[in-house]
Structures are given as C-alpha cells and as structure tokens.
Amino acid sequence: MPTLHEPKLIAGNANLPLAESIARRMSLYRGVDQGLVDARVERFNDGEIFVEVFENVRGEDMFIVQPTSNPANDNLMELLIIADALRRSSAQRITAVIPYFGYARQDRRTKARTPISAKLVANMLTGAGIERVLTMDLHAAQIQGFFDIPVDNLYASPIFALDVKNQFKDNLDEIMVVSPDVGGVARARELAKRINAPLSIVDKRREKAGEVAEMTVIGDVKDKICLIVDDMCDTAGTLCKAAQVLLDKGAKEVHSYITHGVMSGPAVERVTNSVMKSLVLTDTIQPTKEIDKAKNIRIVPTAPIFTQAILNIWNGTSVSSLFEDKTLTPIYESMYHMD
C-alpha cells in the first residue's frame, strides 16, 4: 500500500514566531496537531552551529522555515546545517521556506572583481540537499534562474492590496502608487493594477554608493495619498527622503508598503521622525522591539499565505493560485472583512 508522506515543519532561530504561526495555521487547516519538529539548534563555545533532530523524519516531506536575515551568515549556516541533518536522516523531500532571501542584492557584477553572491548561495542550498525553495519578493526575479530546482516566489502585493482596500476604502480614488526607483516599477505597477490606481516614479541620482544626490518625481502627485512600494527597507534614508520629496511636490500624505523590514542602524528612528504617516512591513523578518514600539510602523502577517503555499506544495496543487484575490482573500478573512 502507498506511503503517505506527511508535511512536517522545522525551524531555525531566525524567525521562530513566524514558524510557530505557520504551524498553528497548518494545525487549523488540517485538523491535526502540526507543531514544529522537536529539534535543537545551538552553538558551541566558538560559535559553531550544532543541530540535533529528536523526531523521526524518515520519508517525510520536510519544510525548513528560516529567513536569512540579520545575522545573515549565522542564519544561512543554520539553514544549511538543518538541511544536511534532514538529508542524512532520510527525509523524503526538503523544502527551504526562506521568507527573506539574503544576499539577493548581489545578483550581478556591477564592477570588476566583484562576486555574484546570490548565485553562490543558490549553489550552497542545493548542495546541502534542498530540493525546493519557497520565498517572498526576491530582490530580483531572475535569481530564480540561479537554481536548478523549483523556486516558488510569493508576492506581497496581493496582501498589500487587501490592506490598502481596507485602510483607504473611503478614498481609494485619491491613491497614487509610487516606485522609489526605476528598478522597482514592475513591483509598484503590480500593486497599482490590483487597486486600480495611477503610478508615479521617484528617480534617484547617486553621486556614490549609499548616497542620493538628487530625487525627481515623475508624475503628478499633487493632492494624492502616495503609497511608496518597495521590496526592502534597510537604513530607511532613501525612503524617508522620498517621502519628503513627495510632500514637497504637493502630495496630501505619504505611506509606505515594504515587504522586508531589514531596518538596520538608525532606520526605526528615521521612520518615527519622518513625514510618513505609516510604514507597513510584513513579518518575513522578525520585528524588533523598537519596530513594535514605533507609532507609525505596522506589521501585516505572512503566515496565512505561507501556510497555504506549503500545503499546496505538499499536496501538489497550484501555488500561483495564491496571487488571485478570490483565492487569497478567504485566508485573510479574519484580518480584512471585504465587502
């Protein structure tokens, strides 16, 4: 008789709250207890990572929930070592659920004698025995081509669209979606299309890396509620400056929707003191205490979409169906009561 391969979740230390939230939702959807696999991920005194799995995983469909956020190198090594432990324990299939895929900014050679680190990380993941990757909003979509295994890249824009329709339901006709740079136009256009809003672009000119010399707004933002859309916010310097430029050009108010809240250095302080009415982040990276306390930063959960994507991968159904409103809305019903 055929063997039924069960989906099992295991997590590193990068974002345990998200992993536990996914496990709770899987328990709810499947009607069976779906706790995280009992394991320990610890450090030796010199910082080496040690993994021990306490449950039998032979023949099981394993999903490792581990973003490669700060500290990026430690979390990446945890992911690789967990994968190796599962492979040597005869897991039937290993899928890496990487909500935030680190090193994605280094996806091409912009200067001589520089690495393509995203490709190196892809090689390391497949070398560790990972057979599938599930992630969200890759910095560059072409990174999927660095892998010789299936990569499912979820998008935050459908979730953001639900949030916008809920938060701005009385003045959707005043919304203007803004891309903070030319490279992010496709991402911003996707959200604009979902909420039927016009699109504007903030064009940046840099004198040197990390410093923006001048910003130009392409499009009329006068009396508009501007929504800046991007895949990540690191130090928030450019984001806050873009918000100020939009207000200077006559925007009514400015909000931002960012998938990955890297929020390093003075980012939270900058956002708190900025002219932005709100910054909406997802929980692909575990929010810090400073983020939780910030009055104008709000978190939207990704556990619903990741849970459904994991179940769809496990049972062999479509993952791209989650990009459609009629499929996504029901799993966010508890958050957004849409008419």
Q: How would DSSP label each residue in 242-266?
A: HHHHHHHTT-SEEEEEEEEE---TT
Q: ω into residue 17 within 30 of 0, thus cis?
A: no
314 near 292, Cβ under 8 Å? no
Beta bridge partners of 5: none
Q: Is 63 helix (H, G, I), strand (E, B) or coil?
A: strand
Instruction: Exactly one of 8, 165, 169, 204 is catalytic; name it.
Output: 204
User: Residue 293 catalytic?
Assistant: no
Whole-angstrom distance, CA of residue 310 vs CA of residue 94: 12
Q: Where are the alpha helices (DSSP H) in the chain?
A: 16-30, 72-88, 117-127, 157-167, 185-195, 237-248, 267-272, 289-293, 303-315, 325-331
Alpha-carbon span 128 to 85, nearest angstrom: 9
Q: Are 244 and 252 in contact (CB under 8 A)?
A: no
Report the catalytic residues: 204
